[in-house]
Amino acid sequence: MAFGISTMAKHNGEETVIAHGVRVEGEFNSEGNVVIEGDVQGIIRTAGDLRIGDASKITADVTAANAVIAGEVRGNITIAGKLELLATSKIIGDVAAETISVMAGSQINGRITMDGTAGRKAMKREEPEPEVE
Amino acid sequence: MYLYVYDESVQGQRFERELALIETRLTDLGISGKIARLALFRDAEELIKDEIRRGTQTVVAVGNDQTLRKVMDAVADPSVVIAIIPLGQGNNIAEILGVPQGVAACDVLSARLVEELDLGSVNGMRFLHMVTAEGVQPACTFEGNYTLRPDTRSSLMIRNLAQSADFGAANPTDGKLEFIMKTPRRSWLIKKIEAVTNVPFAHLQIRSDDLITLQVDGEKLEGNDFDIKVLPRQIRIVTGKDRKYV
């Protein structure tokens, strides 16, 4: 199934959408769901779900609760829950997730870890440490 | 104590009858007050500030979005309640706030459903509704963390209070503004389509080599660098039951 604009462009005020034709550089942090159709260089970190479109080129370490990837990611991917790699996806980097679904045609060049701890640890790091007196 | 600020645009014969009906209804509801009539060379800000110093607690703009803007600029004290009685054209904000045109607005005013709303600020210039710009290609830095650039000239909107079939409502009580950028894309099948970027944010810096003209709630602001931020819960405003932002 193609991961095209028609499904990606639906959004509401709570969701961050980076459209095709837009480049992002830096430390991209979000509390909500994120849809990326453009290009990103740096770091992507969200407490919500992440969708990366088929035209996207990402050069970044990626951390999210759940993710669906159809584009190219150069960097390590750490997902607390489920990661879906669609047929057009190309991953160059290590992948850690609790559950992984890989469609035929997807390319993964890296180490895959599925012990369920890496993703949870990464998400925990997002939460502020409780103050101890 | 109520102060009613009549815009210059509603003081002609066209609105004479409607204003008489409004004044009668306000008296019936027990919320009549002092009337200040704006004129070309009368400083609205000084006039309103003087009345607030004398104890006015509610300032009502009688006119359109521009009248409301003049009132908002003058009311710095967040304890003072702002309201609008919309008359004539250019009343987008009143519509979103659920305030009907003309004499029907008096009942909404009397019901006094007061909400604390966020404002936006561009280089210190406050806005309630939205900021727009056309044909721009700036670098937009969000929260000081990441920078977003469109590949081609795009149109942008920064929304605080808005309704829209395309982008949904912008909620002015969430402590965030909403950045929307429409970037044109070429397609073989369709001549022109637009890709939409949407980012909720609290602080945004816009930098551009070219001069940019922003429309800030209908007022022009030119420059190359803009600092835009949300000012949470800055004004208290009377809204109707049919408000459209939530």
- Provide the shortest C-alpha distance from residue A26 to chain B (in Å): 4
Whether residue A54 is contained in a domain is answered as yes
Which among B200, B147, B154 is positioned nearest to B178, based on CA atoms? B200
Closest residue, chain A, to B172 (C-alpha): A13
Q: Range of A100's domain?
A: 5-123
For A72-88, the pLDDT digits (tens) are 999 999 999 999 999 99
Checking if the pLDDT of B137 tops 50, the result is: yes
Checking if the pLDDT of B186 tops 80, the result is: no
Q: What percent of chain B has pLDDT over 90?
A: 74
For A26-66, the pLDDT digits (tens) are 999 998 999 999 999 999 999 999 999 999 999 999 999 99
- What are the structure tokens assigned to B216, written together? 């800030």
How many C-beta atoms surround the C-beta of residue B91 within 10 A? 23
- B149/A22 touch (CB, cutoff 8 Å), yes or no: yes
Checking if the pLDDT of A1 tops 50, the result is: no
Closest residue, chain A, to B165 (C-alpha): A12
Q: Is A6 on the interface with B (CB under 8 A)?
A: no
Q: E strands, A15-114, where?
A: 16-18, 22-30, 34-36, 39-46, 49-52, 57-64, 66-69, 72-74, 77-79, 82-85, 90-92, 95-96, 99-102, 107-109, 112-113
Between CA B130 and CA B126 the distance in angstroms is: 10
Round the average pLDDT of chain B to a whole number and report it.
92
Q: Is A23 on the interface with B (CB under 8 A)?
A: yes
Residue pointed to by tokens 């502020």: A128
Whether residue A85 is contained in a domain is answered as yes
Round the average pLDDT of chain A to a whole number and report it.
86
Asked if B162 and B169 count as a contact pair (C-beta separation under 8 A), the reply is yes
Whether residue A133 is contained in a domain is answered as no
Residue pointed to by tokens 């004398």: B54
What separation in angstroms does the CA of A35 have from each of A53, B43, B48, B159, B185? 8, 48, 46, 20, 18
Whether residue A128 is contained in a domain is answered as no
Q: What pTM was computed for the model? A: 0.87
Calculated CA dihedral for residues B155, B157, B158, B164, nearest 10 degrees = -160
Closest residue, chain B, to A24 (C-alpha): B148
| Mean pLDDT calculated for residue range B46-67 | 93
| Mean pLDDT calculated for residue range B36-55 | 86
What pLDDT shows up at residue B187? 65
Residue numbers in A near B149 (CB within 8 A): 22-23, 25
Of A67-71, B72-76, B100-104, which gets the smallest average pLDDT?
B72-76
Mutation test of the interface with chain B: which of A6, A18, A20, A22, choosing the one with the most B Cβ atoms within 10 A? A22
Q: Is A2 on the interface with B (CB under 8 A)?
A: no
Q: Residues of B at the A interface (Cβ-Cβ below 8 Å)?
A: 141, 143, 145-152, 167-171, 174, 178, 181, 183-185, 193, 195-200
Calculated CA dihedral for residues A30, A32, A34, A40, nearest 10 degrees = 0
Domains and CATH numbers, chain B: 2-111 (3.40.50.10330), 121-232 (2.60.200.40)
| Mean pLDDT calculated for residue range B226-237 | 96
Which band of pLDDT confidence, cut at 50, 70 and 90, is reported for residue A8? very low
Residue numbers in B near A26 (CB within 8 A): 141, 145-147
What pLDDT shows up at residue B62? 96
0.90 surpassed by complex ipTM: no
DSSP state of B88: S
Whether residue A95 is contained in a domain is answered as yes
Whether residue A130 is contained in a domain is answered as no
Which band of pLDDT confidence, cut at 50, 70 and 90, is reported for residue B38? confident
Q: CA angle B233-B234-B240, nearest 5°?
A: 70
Which band of pLDDT confidence, cut at 50, 70 and 90, is reported for residue A131? low
Counting the structural domains of chain A, the total is: 1
What pLDDT shows up at residue B39? 83
Between CA B132 and CA B218 the distance in angstroms is: 9
Whether residue A129 is contained in a domain is answered as no
Between CA A41 and CA B48 the distance in angstroms is: 51
Whether residue A41 is contained in a domain is answered as yes
Residue numbers in B near A42 (CB within 8 A): 146
Between CA A3 and CA A55 the distance in angstroms is: 9
Q: Is A13 on the interface with B (CB under 8 A)?
A: yes
Closest residue, chain A, to B186 (C-alpha): A21
- A13/B170 touch (CB, cutoff 8 Å), yes or no: yes
Residues 25-44 of A with CB under 8 A from B: 25-29, 32, 37-38, 42
How many C-beta atoms surround the C-beta of residue B137 within 10 A? 15
